[in-house]
Amino acid sequence: MLFIICFISLNVHIFSIDYMYNDEKFYKFLSFLSLFTFFMAFMVTSSNVVQFFVGWEGIGLSSYLLINF
């Protein structure tokens, strides 16, 4: 699962860099997208319910932040 997440997120990052390059909030968008990828990988590699919950909530937070774009 971690390989699939990293592969899909790499493709999304490449597409997003090309699509959002001229936007004034480009770096903010990339940081939110990277945060989303981090929490997705964190959730998949979690070893207990608490870590899973932190990853789940982090994905929700970063999704909320990405909605602005």
Query: How does 15-40 read in b/e, with b if 16+ C-beta sit within 10 Å?
Result: ebeeebeeeeeeeebeebbebbbebb
Distances from the Cα of 54 to the Cα of 1, 11, 34, 49, 69, angstroms: 18, 25, 16, 9, 24
| Full domain range(s) for residue 36 | 1-6+27-69
- Taking the C-alpha atoms of residue 65 and residue 33, their distance in angstroms, rounded to an integer, is 9
pLDDT band at 53 (very low <50, low <70, confident <90, very high): very high
- 59 pLDDT more than 80: yes
- Residue 61 neighbours by CB distance under 10 Å: 14
Question: What's the total number of domains in the chain?
Answer: 1
Tell me whether residue 67 is in a domain. Answer: yes
Q: Is the pTM of this model over 0.85?
A: yes
Tell me whether residue 37 is in a domain. Answer: yes
